[in-house]
Amino acid sequence: MFLIPNAVVRFFHRMASPPHFYAFTDKVMPWLIIIFVLLTGFGLYGGLYLAPSDYQQGDSYRIIYIHVPSAWMSLFIYMVMAISGAIGLVWRIKLAQIVAISSAPIGASFTFIALFTGSLWGKPMWGTWWVWDARLTSELILLFLYLGVIGLYGAIDDKRVASKAVAILALVGVVNIPIIHYSVEWWNTLHQGPTVTKMDKPSIHVSMLIPLLLMALSFKFYYLIALIQRIRIELLQRERNAQWVKAKVLELRL
């Protein structure tokens, strides 16, 4: 039986406490920003300058360095939102509830970017801006799920009730994630099949793959930075009458 080390359990237990989370993120935020800037710089330089042109698509393929990481993030963030929503629903951990709702606008943004850049890429490749194939349609449904979560949370005044409703909606929408991922394998679509997430060797050259992975990692750090910022704001709003918030405000004034 796999046992989680006590130090890890204590760390996550402390992070569930709003004052400890706020203090911890104060310390790590500068490092996260530095890592994000470095990853983005190396990724864009490698993808836009060092990587060779594609023998079929020329330089137009370079949009993958925005499109593909955005599409990956749209799925990843939804899973984070659903899992944290489930944790908040079962164990009623306030921070997990906040992670769920704070992730929704970020995930919606990445999903929109994936759809928009995919459309830009599709025009020269397919001769059309949009087709109602399985991958694009299921990704559009994902955007509607994100917007539904945001709208539902904003429509309910009691944020405890709103968090429960958001968690339920997010969990119901999880069924769309495998549909998006496997759509190009289950159905005949215009969208190309997987080139990186394959069981065998990726079919993308290493000179193109490394910048792509750097950009994917960069986007994850951006998500983490944006998520922390949104969580901190939400915590201050929810805990505005708590003693630690009043002490923080007094500290900032001094």
Quick one: average pLDDT of 49-70?
92
C-beta separation of 100 from 170 below 8 A:
yes
Choose between 15 and 194: higher pLDDT: 15
Return the sign of the alpha-carbon dihedral for residues 117, 120, 124, 125: positive
Q: Is the pLDDT of residue 127 over 90?
A: no
For the chain, what percent of residues have pLDDT higher than 90? Answer: 64
Quick one: average pLDDT of 160-169?
95
Q: Is the pLDDT of residue 18 over 90?
A: no
* pTM check: above 0.85: yes
Quick one: average pLDDT of 215-235?
97
Binning pLDDT at 50, 70 and 90, where does residue 124 land?
A: confident
Nearest-5° angle of CA 227, CA 73, CA 158?
A: 45
Choose between 192 and 136: higher pLDDT: 136
Q: What share of the chain is helix, strand, coil (3-state, %, to 5)?
A: 80, 0, 20
Nearest-5° angle of CA 146, CA 94, CA 28?
A: 85
Amino acid code (one letter) for 98? I
